[in-house]
């Protein structure tokens, strides 16, 4: 698998990893000021840009969520018009998915994949810059639709036709183009990550030597390349239906609005795994570190991740059980969906087995990772409930669905990103994050997030529909609790920003191996990691081979 190269003579900078790391510093002439960030090809700088962008979008999308929660605090219409409410739910979804969670994971990949495989940078550094800078451009365009005549997209992030075609605001054309750009960014970013992992591993590092974070990203990148073009295709068909009179989603011309849903969810379901597989990788790296034990069942973790990715292409219509599918399709998609619980269960089992008899300490990163395991499992279980086609007819488009996917995305994906930030901040900044503030952030977030999303299960089971600015009186208590939880969770994130800013500015100095249980390659370079690392790749070849 790995072509053997003759060992190269070490460069003049010496063969120690850390020596090779900083010696080139004077050789590259880097600009200072804003141009440096616009033109950079360095994976660490681009990773930082991604993470800052992700955090900013998390705040913007969060404010939109708070507008929604504010309106839903009490029954009746108090704060916003229904049209604006719809724009807020739509934009909240789009921004959190494409602007916050995905760029967050890509930022982590940019920073950590080259460090974990012993590569000097990403495989295609200029392309990497292009991938990043497309994102702010795309999101400025997306946000600008809110100011256009007729307002921004108001049809939900899923953009079901004909709401998004026949009945859509004029700004929809710009929404389509902004997502096209975000999609190009994702595809090119994923190509870069795959090429880095497959081609830039340190000599002797086999695929099965890679960390789970690298593995999950390899598989995620494959999913991205496979499904983002499908999203581009379906958006293009929307564009044609809106502007050129085609009939793809118009039954009068022989098309079918349900076709939109098939195409969208063929992208959309792998997309939800794109947002969770890297989280699995992060947790699989953090839990062994703080349990001070190797990951239990490494290879089964790899195979489980691959199985989830393969299965993700065969389950899309479970989003469409109530749309009028043939019975055989309902059955197929129901069973295929339930099958995903098997590899996911393997993962949860392995994390718990890793914890078993470990010497566990509860640093903030570990707290977030443990909360991930528990709370993501809750989201997984409600997913199993939704997978049951006959039951889904009751749950469909209720707040139960909202509770389900927010449990997997917020205390799932978002908590994993926070865990990763706490885990790798010492490597990025050279300082440990403030543990006391981190704990405050963690506990406020956990309490807030559960108060926010748990009552939604009950509201949904009782029949409260999604995406409605007003509701019947019997849902009032659940909604008030959710809104209080929402504001608690939202404002706790200011603490997160404060922890990060504080950590960047100073704090307890972190050594190269910042956590005593950490064993991966990134902990062999100094903290903070110098701009250039592994210019001479570490030799991972085994003596016996």
Partner 1 sequence: MSGGSYYVPASSKWPIFAGLALAAMLVGLGILLVYGWGSWIMGLGGVAILVVMGLWFRDVIKESRGGLYDAQMDRSFRWGMGWFIFSEVMFFAAFFGTLFYVRTFALPWLDGEGAKGVSALLWPDFAASWPLMNPPGSEIEGPRGIANPWQLPLVNTLFLVTSSITLTIAHEGLKAGHRDSARNCLIVTLILGVCFLLVQGFEYYEAYAHLGITLQAGIYGSTFFLLTGFHGAHVTVGAIILASMLWRLQCGHFERDNHFGFEAAAWYWHFVDVVWIGLFLFVYVF
CA distances from 499 to 84, 428, 494, 496, 513 (A): 33, 14, 9, 5, 21
Residues 88-147 that bind partner 1 (CB under 8 A): 118-121, 123-127, 129-130, 133-134, 137-138, 141
- Residue 262 sits in the site that holds partner 1 (CB under 8 A): yes
Rounded distance between C-alpha atoms, residue 321 and residue 390, angstroms: 8
- Cβ nearer to partner 1, comparing 24 with 292: 24
The dihedral built from the CA positions of residue 133, 134, 137 and 142, taken in this order, carries a sign that is: negative
Using an 8 Å Cβ cutoff, are 62 and 88 in contact?
A: no
- Residue 310 sits in the site that holds partner 1 (CB under 8 A): no
Residue 169 half-sphere exposure toward CB, CA atoms < 13 A: 20
Alpha-carbon 291 to chain mean position: 25
- Residue 324 sits in the site that holds partner 1 (CB under 8 A): yes
Using an 8 Å Cβ cutoff, are 90 and 153 in contact?
A: yes
Q: Is 344 a catalytic residue?
A: yes
Place of tokens 């307002």: 151
Strand, helix or coil at 10?
A: coil
Catalytic residue among 44, 92, 427, 441: 92
Q: Is 28 a catalytic residue?
A: no
Using an 8 Å Cβ cutoff, are 121 and 45 in contact?
A: no
Place of tokens 């992700």: 54
Residue 162: asked if its preceding bond is cis (omega within 30°), the reply is yes
Q: Is 467 a catalytic residue?
A: no
- Cβ nearer to partner 1, comparing 39 with 63: 39
Q: How far is the CB of 20 from partner 1 (least distance, A)?
A: 8
- Cβ nearer to partner 1, comparing 190 with 414: 190
Q: Is 186 a catalytic residue?
A: yes
Q: Is 121 a catalytic residue?
A: yes
Taking CB under 8 A as the binding criterion, the range among 6-14, 314-322, 359-367, 490-498 that sits at the site for partner 1 is: 6-14
What's the longest Cα–Cα distance across the chain? 76
- Residue 530 sits in the site that holds partner 1 (CB under 8 A): no
The dihedral built from the CA positions of residue 429, 435, 437 and 440, taken in this order, carries a sign that is: positive
- Residue 393 sits in the site that holds partner 1 (CB under 8 A): no
Catalytic residue among 44, 69, 201, 269: 269
- Residue 28 sits in the site that holds partner 1 (CB under 8 A): yes
Q: Which two tokens stand for residue 115?
A: 């460090």
- Residue 535 sits in the site that holds partner 1 (CB under 8 A): yes
Q: How far is the CB of 501 from partner 1 (least distance, A)?
A: 26
Q: How far is the CB of 86 from partner 1 (least distance, A)?
A: 20
Residues 264-303 that bind partner 1 (CB under 8 A): 266
Q: How far is the CB of 324 from partner 1 (least distance, A)?
A: 5
The single residue among 209, 256, 397, 435 that binds partner 1, judged by CB under 8 A, is 256
Alpha-carbon 183 to chain mean position: 14
Q: Is 318 a catalytic residue?
A: yes
Using an 8 Å Cβ cutoff, are 224 and 188 in contact?
A: no
Q: How many CB atoms are located within 10 Å of the residue 25 CB?
A: 11
Q: Is 457 a catalytic residue?
A: no
- Residue 187 sits in the site that holds partner 1 (CB under 8 A): yes
- Cβ nearer to partner 1, comparing 130 with 458: 130
Q: Is 466 a catalytic residue?
A: yes
Which residue from 478, 488, 468 is spatially nearest to 71, judged by alpha carbons? 468
The single residue among 52, 258, 385, 476 that binds partner 1, judged by CB under 8 A, is 258
Q: How far is the CB of 524 from partner 1 (least distance, A)?
A: 15
Q: How far is the CB of 200 from partner 1 (least distance, A)?
A: 6
Q: How far is the CB of 196 from partner 1 (least distance, A)?
A: 8
Using an 8 Å Cβ cutoff, are 478 and 455 in contact?
A: yes
Number of residues that bind partner 1 (CB under 8 A): 93
- Residue 461 sits in the site that holds partner 1 (CB under 8 A): no
Catalytic residue among 178, 185, 429, 482: 185
- Residue 167 sits in the site that holds partner 1 (CB under 8 A): no
Rounded distance between C-alpha atoms, residue 238 and residue 143, angstroms: 20
- Cβ nearer to partner 1, comparing 21 with 291: 21
Catalytic residue among 44, 201, 293, 318: 318
Q: How far is the CB of 187 from partner 1 (least distance, A)?
A: 5
Rounded distance between C-alpha atoms, residue 517 and residue 292, angstroms: 5
Using an 8 Å Cβ cutoff, are 285 and 213 in contact?
A: yes
- Residue 63 sits in the site that holds partner 1 (CB under 8 A): no
Rounded distance between C-alpha atoms, residue 108 and residue 50, angstroms: 8
Catalytic residue among 273, 298, 471, 523: 273
Rounded distance between C-alpha atoms, residue 458 and residue 475, angstroms: 9
- Residue 330 sits in the site that holds partner 1 (CB under 8 A): no
Q: Is 29 a catalytic residue?
A: no
Alpha-carbon 107 to chain mean position: 10
Q: Is 271 a catalytic residue?
A: yes
- Cβ nearer to partner 1, comparing 134 with 373: 134
Taking CB under 8 A as the binding criterion, the range among 50-58, 170-178, 338-346, 438-446 that sits at the site for partner 1 is: 170-178
Q: What angle do CA 443, 457, 70 make, to 5 degrees?
A: 70
The residues, any chain, with a CB within 8 Å of residue 265's CB and separated by 6 or more, are 316, 317, 319, 320
- Cβ nearer to partner 1, comparing 120 with 433: 120
Q: Is 185 a catalytic residue?
A: yes
Helix-strand-coil percent breakdown of the chain, rounded to 5?
A: 70, 0, 30
CA dihedral 412, 405, 316, 92 (to 10 degrees): -100
Taking CB under 8 A as the binding criterion, the range among 91-99, 178-186, 291-299, 356-364 that sits at the site for partner 1 is: 178-186
- Cβ nearer to partner 1, comparing 199 with 359: 199
Residues 194-253 that bind partner 1 (CB under 8 A): 194-195, 198-205, 225-230, 232-234, 237, 239-240, 243-248, 250-253
> Catalytic residue numbers?
92, 121, 157, 185-186, 269, 271, 273, 284, 318-319, 344, 347, 466
């Amino acid at each position: 698998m790995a072509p053997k190269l003759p060992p190269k003579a070490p460069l003049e900078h010496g063969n120690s990893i850390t020596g090779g790391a900083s010696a080139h510093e004077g050789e590259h002439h880097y600009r200072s000021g804003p141009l440096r960030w616009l033109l950079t090809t360095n994976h660490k700088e681009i990773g930082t840009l991604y993470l800052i962008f992700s955090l900013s979008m998390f705040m913007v999308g969060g404010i939109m969520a708070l507008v929604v929660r504010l309106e839903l605090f009490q029954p009746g219409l108090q704060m916003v018009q229904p049209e604006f409410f719809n724009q807020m739910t739509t934009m909240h979804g789009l921004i959190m998915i494409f602007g916050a969670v995905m760029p967050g994971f890509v930022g982590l990949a940019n920073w950590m994949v080259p460090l974990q495989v012993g590569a000097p940078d990403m495989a295609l550094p200029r392309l990497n810059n292009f991938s990043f800078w497309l994102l702010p451009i795309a999101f400025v365009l997306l946000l600008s639709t809110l100011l256009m005549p007729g307002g921004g997209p108001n049809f939900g992030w899923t953009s079901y036709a004909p709401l998004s075609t026949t009945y859509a605001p004029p700004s929809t054309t710009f929404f389509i183009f902004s997502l096209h750009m975000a999609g190009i960014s994702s595809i090119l970013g994923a190509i870069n990550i795959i090429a880095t992992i497959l081609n830039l591993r340190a000599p002797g590092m086999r695929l099965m030597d890679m960390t789970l974070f690298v593995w999950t990203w390899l598989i995620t990148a494959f999913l991205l390349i496979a499904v983002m073009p499908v999203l581009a295709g379906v958006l293009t068909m929307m564009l044609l239906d809106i502007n050129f009179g085609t009939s793809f989603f118009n039954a009068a011309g022989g098309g079918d609005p349900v076709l939109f849903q098939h195409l969208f969810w063929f992208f959309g379901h792998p997309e939800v795994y794109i947002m969770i597989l890297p989280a699995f990788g992060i947790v699989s790296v953090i839990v062994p570190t703080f349990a001070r034990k190797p990951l239990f069942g490494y290879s089964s973790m790899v195979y489980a991740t691959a199985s989830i990715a393969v299965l993700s292409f065969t389950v899309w219509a479970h989003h469409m059980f109530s749309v009028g599918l043939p019975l055989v399709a309902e059955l197929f998609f129901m069973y295929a969906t339930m099958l995903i619980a098997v590899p996911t269960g393997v993962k949860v089992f392995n994390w718990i087995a890793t914890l078993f008899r470990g010497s566990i300490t509860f640093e903030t990163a570990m707290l977030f990772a443990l909360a991930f395991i528990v709370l993501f499992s809750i989201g997984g279980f409600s997913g199993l409930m939704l997978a049951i086609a006959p039951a889904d007819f009751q749950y469909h488009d209720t707040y139960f669905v909202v509770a389900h996917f927010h449990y997997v995305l917020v205390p799932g994906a978002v908590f994993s990103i926070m865990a990763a930030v706490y885990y790798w901040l010492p490597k990025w900044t050279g300082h440990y994050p403030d543990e006391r503030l981190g704990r405050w952030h963690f506990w406020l977030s956990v309490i807030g997030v559960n108060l926010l999303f748990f009552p939604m299960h009950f509201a949904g089971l009782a029949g409260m529909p999604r995406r409605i600015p007003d509701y019947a009186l019997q849902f009032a208590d659940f909604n008030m609790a959710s809104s209080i939880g929402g504001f608690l969770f939202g404002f706790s994130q200011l603490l997160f920003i404060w922890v990060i800013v504080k950590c960047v500015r100073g704090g307890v100095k972190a050594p190269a191996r910042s956590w005593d249980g950490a064993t991966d390659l990134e902990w062999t370079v100094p903290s903070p990691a110098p701009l250039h690392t592994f210019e001479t790749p570490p030799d991972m070849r085994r003596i016996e081979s």
